[in-house]
Structure 1
């Protein structure tokens, strides 16, 4: 009888232990999703500014059409991205395209003198700073969550209840890592 009670208490303790791990993983997963939604909000804000920026650049007869097309195409792809992975990949494309767009100011000094363009560029720079901070927070949340999913005994609960790892938000676009080359 006493052995039965001890076994029952151990089973109850095990169940509460598993529930505690499960709840911790849920909290951490929700934190990751919340932190990505912050990035998502900043990205939407940035993408809303892009049409105005493109229209300002189009006002100059010698603008580089391929650069503008890449910016517009990347912006449109964002609206169809459904997963975090797709949005991260698209973010890398749009960042590279925007860097090329801003490099046009070196080739076209009259564009640099345009008040609208400079205002929009300033707003985008401010949003870029916000995105950078949000990415740091997101990556920190992902690190904590992924570590929890991979450490023992959490890994046993994570595997059984489909807690999957989240990707880090990395800069993969080589354009962002290299110096911008402007040719006339």
Structure 2
């Protein structure tokens, strides 16, 4: 029930906070990166891949609306180092992240590999959706299912995890500089 409602929940959220360990968060992916992810499994035909890309692009439109939600993305350095779709796609993806980080409603922080173990490693990738006047939700996707957590104590635990990871991450400005340096390396 909830899985198909993710775009609606994102559209209704005032704040979206996410942690990703090995991929760029879906709301920040360029179409070529998204397509490369879905093609990487080599089990989907091109029409299905195209539908996934279109659906992800449609979800991203919430960031372009007049009153967009705040997006806080904590991205593990490993996600930036994994070359998805080739160097040209990764360079474009990193450029897109830099552009998005310049928006007033978007905060991107890179969690360096040098941090080592941190609280989100065992939590895996997740999204916290905060709504004005409604309880928050925690969303986690797996290969076969989506998991939603609605209990206040679950929300508090995931929120605390994000807070801890954020303090270990590069600042937003340092993260942008790091992503620009990575773009330069993609041309070599």
Using the size of structure 2 for normalisation, the TM-score is 0.25
Say which structure, 1 or 2, has more relative contact order (CA 8 Å, 6+ apart). Answer: 1
The structure with the largest strand share of the pair is 2
Instruction: Tell which structure's C-alpha radius of gyration is larger.
Output: 1
Using the size of structure 1 for normalisation, the TM-score is 0.25
The structure with the largest helix share of the pair is 1
